Every structure is written in C-alpha cells, then in structure tokens.
Amino acid sequence: MKKPAEFYQRDRRWHPPAYARDYKTSVARSPQYAAISLENTLSEITGPVFGHGDIDPIDNDLLSNFAEAGQSPIGERIIVHGRVLDENARPVPNTLVEIWQANASGRYRHKKDTYLGALDPNFGGCGRTLTDENGYYFFRTVKPGAYPWRNWVNDWRPAHIHFSIFGTGFAQRLITQLYFEGDPLIAKCPIVNTIPDPAAIEQLIAVLDMNATIPLDTIAYKFDIVLRGRRSTLFENRLEGN
Amino acid sequence: MKQRLEYLKETPSQTAGPYVHIGLAPGDAGFQIYNQELGRDIAGPNAKGERIRVEGLVIDGTGSPIKDVLLEVWQANAHGVHAHPEHPGDVEEDFRGWGRVITDFETGEWGFDTIKPGATPGRNGATQAPHINLWIVARGINLGLNTRLYFDDEESANAADPVINTIEWQRRRQTLIATRSVRDGIPVYRFDIRIQGEDETVFFDI
Ligand SMILES: [Fe+2]
C-alpha cells in the first residue's frame, strides 16, 4: 500500500495565538495547555470530498441567489476571485469554498444580529462554489459595510468577507476573513491584530484587480488562498519511545 | 546571498465569528437559501454498523456553555475506512463520514447521529482505536481547535491507541473519552469539551 504523504507542520507563529488579550472573547475561549503535536495519520490526511451534486451553479452569485426575480441587492457590485493553492504553490482543484458576509449597510441576515443597519430583502449573504481544475474560484456579491461590535466601546470591523475552505485533508481545514485594500479600519481592528506578523495580515487583504473588472458593471478584487502543503516524498519515521 | 525557498505561506486563520451559521448552516441563521445544506447526513441509511448518537456541550473558561460554536465531524465507517480516495477500501455509497453540528442557541447543547467507527490504520503499522475527529470553531476561537473523541466501551483498544499514548498525563487522557448510556434503545455517548480551565480537553496540533 502506498503510504499517503503528510502535511507540512502548521506555522503556529503565522496564525493568531488562541489567547489575544485585545480580542476579549478569546480570553475565556483559549486553551491554556499546549496542544499535543500529532503526526498525521489517515484520520488527518483524508477529508470530505465534494462534487457538483452538492451545490447549485447559482450558489456563487450573491447578487442573485436570494434576490427577487429581476431585482438586485443594494451596494457596490463586486467580483471576488482568485485561486486556492497549497504551500507548494500547486492549485487545489475541486475544493469547496464557502463565504458569508454582511450586506452593504453592515447588517447580517442572522437572528442574533440586531444592528441598526437595514436588512436588504434581496441579499442573503452567503455563497459557495467548487474550485475548477486550476484551483480557480469566483463569487459575485456586493461590498459589505463596516459594522460596530462590542469589544472596546467603539470598535468597528473593517469590511470583510468570511471564508471557509476545505482542501483535500481534514488537517487543511481553514476559516479566515478577506479584507479590502485601502480600508483604514483594518489597522485598528483587534481581530485583524490577533495576527502577530504584518506580512501575514497582508495575505488577507484583497487587491483591486482592474483587469478582471467588467466595464460599466462590476469591480473585481483578487484574493488567493493558500492551504497547507504536503510532502512530495513518502517516508515513515520510526521514532517511537512514547 | 543564498538561494531562496519557493514555498508559499499558509493563509492565516481568523475567527469564524458569531454569524458562522449564515455561511455554513443558513437554515439555523433563520433563512432558506440553498437547495441542500451540507453536513447534515454523516452516515446514510445504507451505512453499516451500530447506530449511535453523540451529545455534549462546549464549555468556556468561566464554566459556561458556548452557544455559538460550530463543530465539524470526520470519521471512518464501521470498517475503519474513510470516504476518501487515498484511504484504500470501500465505503457505503451514502456514507460520507463528515458532518456539521451547531448548538441549541439557548442551551449550547449539540448532538449528532452517526454510526460507530471501526479501528483505523495508524502510523508505522499501528492500529488506532475507534475515534471521531472533531474541529471546533466559534467567535473568540482564532484558529479552529482539533480534538478526538474515543469511546469508553473500547477500553483495551484505547489503552493501545498510539495517539492517546502520546499524552503524558493519564488524567488528561480522560478528556477524550466519551461515556456511553442508552436512551430509548439508542446508545448515546456524552462528550463535553472544555476549552479552558479545570479538566481542559486535550487539543491536537495536527
Ligand atoms: Fe463578520
């Protein structure tokens, strides 16, 4: 039997730590003990597989997937597109990408969101798609608004889109957020600033992409996503001693 | 100057936030949008094996249930095979082994129905005791937490499990063991996850 290759170790200093004092909710929701390092087994190398039978083609079009026929949500019409790659810079094809976001006034369609910003009857706020054979994906949506949240008294989230990505193995599972180039709220945000390295934060900032913009129609932002990479050589170590 | 490595860096994680349901379980956020929501069926009717239910709470450092948590489940079938092309062996056509679970917004209780997994291959020819991989995200969790659920009626398999045995502290091993009872003729395994504090659940860096 061919032994499946394992994933590279996750760089825990590139990700936010569990405990981030300025993001108050993390204080009581962060483990205090160190995580136990676990070399991958089949349980971590494998993960769910999705196909076109799981989703509908309209699911990646937030401009129409909740709107009444002939209507559109209010807000700046945007395309968010990019590729899902791994750390070896290889595309990750046929992987599920799911997004959710507030509408243009910063309001979520969620029974727990009570912000003053108005709900938009033509905007649901979620979408999903599978990457193609080159790892490429795209969504059409409106640019989300900033919204206030209870952390410090006067905190506002920068405009953002939540992303959930699978990859091929459960060890690659990732949730993150996309921010927009030029937003002055990014630098002030306690959630953004849970990430210690400014270069890692830049990896979450989508860039205006005029070449992908559709003239007189929709502005494009490019957002590439990188998942953990795998070893190319298959080997076993024999370290036991536990 | 020396040469450069060409690897990319993994995209850094951010919290799933309080409104994760909109994206991953919109029906629970309060609206219908997709023809089918994913992760509702871990083991369809053709999946063989013992039908079980798993229930619990996710508890924060103050001792309170976390009511806006989302868990994902990943497990092998009753023969210890994952529904994935790299795992040799067959799985039943409607066995996916993956599920998505959210809590009751009022109580924080969560639960899912599945089949009890079989033992799976470990590293270096070892065998792993039956287990379910869990991934936990929520507001305030900056990077999803990975843990494993084992079964208290698999005592000898658990004692030989190479992953349980990497945990130095006997007492902490107990945090990974779900306890079985029977309700209305169905085996129910209780698995409370303590994010922080006394009897903090073991989390893995996988
Ligand atoms: Fe958000």
Tally of domains in chain A: 1
Q: Tell whether B54 is covered by a domain.
A: yes
Q: Which of B9, B22, B149 to mutate to test the interface with A (most CBs of A within 10 A)?
A: B22
Q: How does the average pLDDT of chain A come out, rounded?
A: 95
pLDDT at A237: 53
Q: Tell whether B116 is covered by a domain.
A: yes
Q: Tell whether B193 is covered by a domain.
A: yes
Interval B150-190: pLDDT, tens: 999 999 999 999 999 999 999 999 999 999 999 999 999 99
The catalytically annotated residue of A83, A160, A228, A230 is A160
β A136-142/A77-86 pair status: antiparallel
Q: Tell whether A184 is covered by a domain.
A: yes
Q: Tell whether B57 is covered by a domain.
A: yes
Distance from residue B82's CA to the centre of ligand 1 (Å): 33
Q: Which domain holds residue B50?
A: 42-134+187-206
Nearest residue of chain B to residue A38 (CA atoms): B206
Q: Is the pLDDT of residue A66 over 80?
A: yes
Q: Tell whether B92 is covered by a domain.
A: yes
pTM of the model: 0.96
Which of chain B's residues have a Cβ under 8 Å away from the Cβ of A201? 12
Q: Tell whether A6 is covered by a domain.
A: no
pLDDT at A234: 57
Q: Which domain holds residue A72?
A: 24-227
CATH number at residue B56: 2.60.130.10
Under 8 Å between Cβ of A204 and A192: yes
Q: Tell whether A1 is covered by a domain.
A: no
* Separation CA A64–CA A55 (nearest Å): 15
Distance separating the N- and C-terminal Cα atoms of chain A: 26
pLDDT at A240: 41
The catalytically annotated residue of A23, A108, A179, A221 is A108
Q: Tell whether A12 is covered by a domain.
A: no
Distance of residue A218 Cα from the nearest chain B Cα, in angstroms: 23
Residue linked to tokens 């993390």: A26
| pLDDT (mean) for B93-98 | 97
Residue A15 has phi, psi (to 5 degrees) of -85, 160
Q: Tell whether A240 is covered by a domain.
A: no
CATH number at residue A109: 2.60.130.10
* Separation CA A74–CA A105 (nearest Å): 9
Q: Tell whether A182 is covered by a domain.
A: yes
* Separation CA B20–CA B39 (nearest Å): 14
Tally of domains in chain B: 1
* Separation CA B59–CA A32 (nearest Å): 14
Q: Tell whether B163 is covered by a domain.
A: no
| pLDDT (mean) for B125-134 | 97
Distance from residue A84's CA to the centre of ligand 1 (Å): 21
- Residue A162 bears catalytic tag: yes
Q: Tell whether B191 is covered by a domain.
A: yes
Q: Is the pLDDT of residue A1 over 70?
A: no
Residue A44 has phi, psi (to 5 degrees) of -100, -30
Q: Is the pLDDT of residue A235 over 60?
A: no
pLDDT at A191: 98
Q: Is the pLDDT of residue A238 over 70?
A: no
pLDDT at A172: 98
